[in-house]
Amino acid sequence: MMDTQPASGQQRRAFWLKHLHQWHWISSAICLVGMLLFALTGFTLNHAGQIEARPKVVTRDDTAPRELVAALRRAAPADGGARNQKGPVPPALAEWLARAWHIDTAGREAEWSADEVYVALPRPGGDAWVSVSLDDGGAQYEVTSRGWISYLNDLHKGRNTGVAWSWFIDAFALACLVFSVTGLFLLKLHAGGRVATWPLVGFGLVLPLVLAIVFIH
Q: Where are the domains of the chain?
A: 4-51+149-215, 56-145
What CA–CA distance (Å, rounded) separates 115 from 128?
A: 20
What CA–CA distance (Å, rounded) separates 39 from 176?
A: 13
pLDDT at 80 over 70: no
Q: What is the pLDDT of residue 1?
A: 47
What CA–CA distance (Å, rounded) separates 42 from 156?
A: 8
Lowest mean pLDDT among 4-13, 121-130, 143-152, 160-169: 4-13
Q: Count how many Cα atoms sit within 13 Å of the Cα of residue 135 in the half-sphere of its side chain.
A: 3
pLDDT at 182 over 90: yes
Helix, strand, coil content of the chain in percent (nearest 5): 60, 20, 25
pLDDT at 6 over 70: no
Looking at the chain, the whole-number percentage of residues with pLDDT higher than 70 is 94
pLDDT at 38 over 50: yes
Across 6-10, 118-122, 193-197, the highest mean pLDDT is recorded for 118-122
Cβ atoms within 10 Å of 88's Cβ, excluding its own:
14
Q: Which of 130, 121, 133 shows the shortest CA–CA distance to 76?
A: 133
DSSP 21: H
What CA–CA distance (Å, rounded) separates 214 from 164?
A: 39
Q: What is the pLDDT of residue 194?
A: 86
Q: Which helix H or strand E contains 118, and what residues bound it?
A: strand 116-120
Q: Which helix H or strand E contains 132, and what residues bound it?
A: strand 126-133
Read off the pLDDT of each residue in 134-155 and give the average, rounded to a whole number.
95
pLDDT at 117 over 50: yes
Q: What is the pLDDT of residue 79?
A: 61
What CA–CA distance (Å, rounded) separates 161 from 154?
A: 8
What CA–CA distance (Å, rounded) separates 140 from 129?
A: 8
Q: Which helix H or strand E contains 144, and what residues bound it?
A: strand 138-145
pTM listed for this prediction: 0.81
Q: What is the pLDDT of residue 83?
A: 57
